[in-house]
A and B are shown apart, each in its own frame.
Chain A
């Protein structure tokens, strides 16, 4: 996990001062869903958009895809505005709920979407077969989508997003509706896409998913960007040490001994405990802070203070890093 793609990587997606106000038929304001969003997403990374319900994640994605038009600012993908059609040749999109044609079966669905791309019939057929295999729908490929379960629809939705072997994959809540095994499968798939050098943008409020697969995340709240950065960096706390050990029980005696050791090195023990889900803490804190200070938002230039909340991270037995 190097940081150089941030430094000199190619920017695939960029939003500049992106603002979206939903208007009604008469042009009156219904809802300001996104306020002056500035983002840059680089080639090869997995980028997570996080935020509570109604925070504007889906709105951002729809703006990038030209399903909505920006009220102000720009949404650029491959340097082209969202409404540019040609860029879609290199994009795959899985909608929030896969709204596909329910009267088609899996094969026909992939065939139909394949025809919209500049693919030769052989390639189209081969891809469709591979993808059906990959998403595990081989046995159900002749059944109409109206008979599919939520998870199966999510799978065929993913397959149609990958039919053109896209450079950029945009997934809106990819794990919603999937069981734990399906979720694991989806996460592995995202990592596989990343390994193939594809760029992935996903949005979710399932924090563990995001934490497992994303390189960088942005946290949105009420249409404003609250936090942006590398997952590992965001979750590291500079002056906190977490310790894991195997083969001992956490007795009072052990605790006393540990305190002793740490005091000798000039520190104090805050807590020694089993690790919790960690992004959740960050997320909840941001939401809490946003509610307390509505105006505050993420500004890239300003150095932020280290986090105070007790957050533990990672799966390595002992992990400690200083925040630069």
Chain B
């Protein structure tokens, strides 16, 4: 009853792997093409010869075989870019000529584009990939060990560790209500750990290479058969291993402490790791012919909150959660026998049109939850169901019998605004899912004049209990991902700019990656830049114009070509913003404090996906870091 899992922005899950990959391919492809083009232009300008023409030119006989091979394969990629782009262009043009419905041409265009994007990425990363092939774990590990020894012997790390412990111990003197203890302590522990790990990692990562270069100790390394990529990776690996161990130790100490201190009330409330299952939400409405129509959103109450959509009280409108996927063990017969009931938890937003408390009842708003297997249940069966329920009402397990037979179970209750409720339903309803069908939870509001707002993650099944410690560790993985991210970023930046500048860069990126800032930046995207409700003042130029003219934000602008041009430029800004936003990390994905603090098990798939996203985010930086380090004159 006390816990609340409010996930307003969904975490990326493994289902989105495909789209995420495509997305990555597109933006990385565009970037790679741009870089190749720019590189080509600069090479022309500075008379360094062209990659395209010199790729195969020059006296191949003078080159070592691997060099020849390298150039040949590079040429292959360049050709493929060309072929892909031509295909994409052809597909688009012919598709247009053929008019609507020419999906064949559209897919040719898409295929061509993806081919070009992939080839561009390969062409750009080719040297890196070949270099990666000749890297040796032995050398990388030697360099990683050196980094670890350096950090440990300089005792920099321990001062940070002590700092973390001080903050944590200090924070435990804060007075917390017994039932909130786990929640609060976990929150403090995670946030402190995250901040201090990030600071430690940036400092260590940003100073590692610059110090090595400044003290010229790197000279004795570079003159050994060490590849610069190995130096880069070795540095990263060493720091990551060290920071991982540090995080693990401090995290576990923190866990032990919290575990022992927390009151029994908090243990019952949120010191748990409940496994939950989210469903898919849609809305249904009865139309004039008496058919249920499926809709994506409910009634718009003009609330600024777009996450929740509303259903009207007393109207034939329902919110429907469908659980297409259930953990397999729920369908297991023996499990169902052992667990007669299953819990659903939910929290809705109540939007009152009238102050009519009689209608909703003083106890809150009347809501009906129906658990339905649509394969078995039909509205026409309702009369039979009620009759049978009357007959069976003295039997102890009447609801189970009916649930099994009709695939239907109903719970009416009164709820208050934004409170979490839990409702049990018989697992018998799941029994016949093996034959087919899905589990649906349909919510209707019975109080006239009230609107019930709900978002996709406002209702979920609680399907079991996971290990508390594992969940705690999973939460730490989020912090670990952050640590890895700043370590890699710091090392990569410091291949080119000095230590302080790289630190500032890291922190600036992290700041831009904060969920709040991300939301703001998202509003500056091309879809929303000119929307009155999101950006009342318009884009940057428009805002400046309004400021200069003293126009209030909502005043319509004169209709002339100057204004139109201005808005076009603003739109350009918006696209630029969108393009640049890819270099900013999405920190939200790594913050799992909510789950652990509220006692919910972190879904493993989401955790894995966040790590995959991390890799996708970091790879371009590592590439850039390698090229910059390679181009750098170490002794200059």
Contact = CB atoms under 8 A, between A and B. Distances in A.
B146 interface: yes
B150 interface: yes
A194 B153 CA distance: 39
Nearest to B146: A112
B507 to A, nearest CB: 23
B633 interface: yes
A107 to B, nearest CB: 13
Contacts of A67: 219, 222-223, 633-635
A22 to B, nearest CB: 6
Given A91-B223, A116-B142, A117-B224, A104 B149 contact: yes
B551 to A, nearest CB: 44
A100 B222 contact: no
A176 interface: no
Contacts of A62: 635
Contact of A160 (B138, B220, B222, B636): B220
Interface footprint category on A: 20 to 34
Contacts of B220: 93, 95, 98-100, 113, 160
A302 B108 CA distance: 69
A185 interface: no
Contact of A89 (B146, B219, B225): B225
With a 10 A CB-CB cut-off, give which of B138, B215, B217, B223 has the most chain A CB atoms: B223
A73 interface: no
Contacts of B312: none
Interface in A51-84: 62, 65-69
Nearest to A170: B223
B225 A88 contact: yes
A104 to B, nearest CB: 7
Nearest to B139: A116
B226 interface: yes
B339 interface: no
A98 B223 CA distance: 13
A98 B376 CA distance: 83
Contacts, number: 73
Interface string A109-131: 00011011110000000000000
Interface in B208-229: 215-217, 219-227
B216 A85 contact: no
B154 interface: yes
A244 to B, nearest CB: 44
A77 B220 CA distance: 17
Contacts of B138: 115
B142 A103 contact: no
A86 interface: yes
Contact of B225 (A86, A98, A101, A103): A86
Contacts of B216: 95, 97, 99
A68 B139 CA distance: 23
A69 B636 CA distance: 9
Interface in B241-263: none
A88 B219 contact: no
B139 to A, nearest CB: 5
A143 to B, nearest CB: 13
Contacts of B149: 103-104, 108
Given A68-B633, A101-B150, A104-B149, A95 B142 contact: no
Interface string A216-255: 0000000000000000000000000000000000000000
A95 B215 CA distance: 12
A65 B222 contact: yes
B225 A117 contact: yes
Contacts of A91: 223
Contacts of A103: 149-150, 153-154
Contacts of B635: 62, 67-68
A48 to B, nearest CB: 20
With a 10 A CB-CB cut-off, give which of B138, B141, B221, B225 has the most chain A CB atoms: B225
A110 to B, nearest CB: 12
Contacts of A117: 224-225
Nearest to B228: A85
Interface in A131-190: 160, 164
B146 A85 contact: no
A266 B370 CA distance: 130
27 contacts: A22-B636, A65-B222, A66-B223, A67-B219, A68-B633, A68-B634, A69-B633, A85-B226, A86-B225, A93-B219, A99-B216, A99-B217, A101-B150, A103-B149, A103-B150, A103-B153, A103-B154, A104-B146, A104-B149, A108-B149, A113-B224, A115-B138, A115-B139, A116-B224, A116-B226, A117-B224, A164-B224
Given A86-B225, A98-B220, 4 more contacts: A65-B223, A88-B225, A99-B217, A99-B219
